[in-house]
Amino acid sequence: MITRVVRLSFDPNKLTDFYKVFEASKIHIAAFEGCNGLQLMQDATEKNVLYTLSYWENEESLNKYRFSELFKATWSETKILFNNKPQAFSLELLQKVK
């Protein structure tokens, strides 16, 4: 399982625009083959910084999404709203402690 974490820093005046893009695409992303879930989170102190966490069966599934028309369309609407370069990380769980 791959957890994809993407840090997105938005122009504060464009957050509402991003929320519209996310609302329109979240169901399609979550339903994409190999996706096991999607979360949107907000930084606790920088309210214009959001994180997406998506969970993928494997790197192949993630890459199919990253090169899909759905990703290209969503990303083209999203990237024009940034005020800083996004950061993305792909993580694999090593241990989970309850």
pLDDT at 73: 97
In-domain check, residue 97: no
pLDDT at 44: 98
> Which residue range forms the structural domain that includes residue 74?
2-91
Residues 6 or more apart whose CB falls under 8 angstroms from that of 81 comprise 10, 11, 14, 15, 17, 18, 21
Collapsing DSSP to helix, strand or coil, 54 comes out as: strand
pLDDT at 10: 98
In-domain check, residue 63: yes
pTM: 0.93
Count up the domains in the chain and report the number. 1
CATH no. for residue 14?
A: 3.30.70.100
pLDDT at 63: 97
**Using one digit for the tens of pLDDT, what is the confidence trace for 31-70?**
999 999 999 999 999 999 999 999 999 999 999 999 999 9
**Angstrom distance (rounded) from CA 18 to CA 24:** 10
Closest C-alpha to 88, from 76, 75, 97: 75
